Amino acid sequence: MAFDNLLINDKDRVRTITVNRPDKLNALNRQTLLELQQAIIEAHGEDTVRVIVLTGAGDKAFVAGADIGEIRAQSAVEARAFSAMGQNLMSLIQSLDKPVIAAINGFALGGGMELALACHLRIASDNARLGLPEIKLGIMPGFGGTQRLLRLVGTTRALEMSLTGEPVAAEHALELGIVNQMVASDKLDSATTAMAGKLATAAPEAVRGILQAINQGADTDLKTGLALETARFALCCATEDMQEGTSAFLEKRKPEFKGR
Ligand code: COA
């Protein structure tokens, strides 16, 4: 499907989805949310896509938030639907069984930070700033930010960032564990490609098992999480890729996983 507000690029089993509204710092209006939902479903459905990268067009912003003009024009009923739409998109991303990497190339604010938090891995350029500034607009996060930030950094930092609305620089986000890596802005593409390349050549069943065990495990009790881990571990052991990975180790060569 063709998109008005997204750019799609495929290379070496990695699909890059770029939010493309640079004149609005890639703010998420309703149409862009719908397009992102469609693009994620398509990427999920295509066997040739092993990894998804989300990023923003231009050199200033990943995504500077939900579209403030649209928020302002909404009734409470419409706002509830808008929040549900955003939350559904973020939950879809988080629950995907293909890894999603956020390449954060500048401002990741409000809905932009919420989008990044829904991804499985986050790489930030050194000029990135991440935050939940909704409070400054008289509102609060509505795309899952309070819940995902809380689970990532705990109540102390989540309350501070949400109540003050002050963004943190990439370096601080790295210290807080909000991002996995920080790189110079001219190295963001290569760092993202390197990370995506590793995941794209890994055994897909193992990748799926890890994503499910950790994502669902975060929201469940230890006993249930351990049972899930055992089930997924056993499934990995039924694959040709397990035979290939263990043979390659014993034969002192690189494995070539086929996704079978
Ligand atoms: N929604 C709608 N439009 C947005 C936007 C958003 N979340 N963020 C930026 N824009 C638009 C601006 O209105 C401006 O449009 P214009 O040129 O038609 O006036 C354009 O993007 C460029 O933004 P500008 O504010 O001029 O850039 P800046 O470099 O001075 O400031 C930011 C950058 C990110 C600090 C600032 O744009 C900002 O604070 N944005 C809102 C962040 C926010 O509150 N997000 C949460 C929303 S719920």
What's the CA-to-centroid distance between 62 and ligand 1, angstroms? 12
Helix (H), strand (E), coil (C) string for 124-175: EECCCEEECHHHHHCCCCCCCHHHHHHHHHCHHHHHHHHHHCCCEEHHHHHH
From 25, 62, 67, 107, mutation site for ligand 1 pocket: most ligand atoms within 8 A of C-beta: 25
CA distances from 226 to 102, 151, 210, 215 (A): 28, 19, 12, 13
Q: What percent of the chain has pLDDT over 90?
A: 99
CB 28 within 8 A of CB 111: yes
Q: What is the pLDDT of residue 53?
A: 98
pTM value is 0.97
In this structure, the residue with its CA closest to atom 14 of ligand 1 is 24
How much is the average pLDDT of 69-93?
97
Mean of the pLDDT values across residues 65-92?
A: 97
* DSSP tag of 185: G
Beta carbons within 8 Å of 29's beta carbon, 6+ residues apart: 5, 21, 66, 67, 69, 70
pLDDT band at 32 (very low <50, low <70, confident <90, very high): very high
Query: Do residues 14 and 197 touch, judged by C-beta distance below 8 A?
Result: yes
Q: Say what the pLDDT of residue 26 is.
A: 98
Cβ atoms within 10 A of the Cβ of 247, count?
A: 11
Which is the closest atom of ligand 1 to the Cα of 142? 48
Strand partners, 42: none
Could you give the residue range(s) of every CATH 1.10.12 domain in the chain? 204-250
Pocket of ligand 1 (CB under 6 A): 24-25, 27, 64-69, 71, 107, 109-111, 133-134, 137
Using DSSP's 3-state secondary structure scheme, residue 233 falls into helix
At residue 15 the predicted structure's pLDDT band, cuts being 50, 70 and 90, is very high
Q: How far is the CA of 143 from the centre of ligand 1 (A)?
A: 18
- pLDDT at residue 1 tops 80: no
Q: Report which protein residue has its CA nearest ligand 1's atom 8.
A: 64
Residue-averaged pLDDT of the chain? 97
Domain 6-200, CATH among 3.30.930.10, 3.40.50.2300, 3.90.226.10, 2.90.10.10: 3.90.226.10
Ligand 1: distance of its center to the CA of 138 in Å?
Answer: 16
Q: What is the mean pLDDT of residues 95-116?
A: 98
pLDDT digits (tens, 9 = 90+) for 209-253: 999 999 999 999 999 999 999 999 999 999 999 999 999 999 999
Domain limits, CATH 3.90.226.10, in the chain: 6-200
> Taking the CB of residue 91, how many other CB atoms lie within 10 A of it?
14
Residue located nearest, by CA, to atom 30 of ligand 1: 25
CB atoms within 10 A of CB 234: 10
More confident site: 197 or 2? 197
| Proportion of the chain above pLDDT 70, given as a percent | 100
pLDDT tens track for 108-163 = 999 999 999 999 999 999 999 999 999 999 999 999 999 999 999 999 999 999 99
Q: Which CATH number fits domain 204-250: 1.10.1740, 3.30.70, 1.10.12, 3.40.50?
A: 1.10.12
Residues annotated as part of the active site: 114, 134
Residue closest via CA to ligand 1's atom 41 equals 64
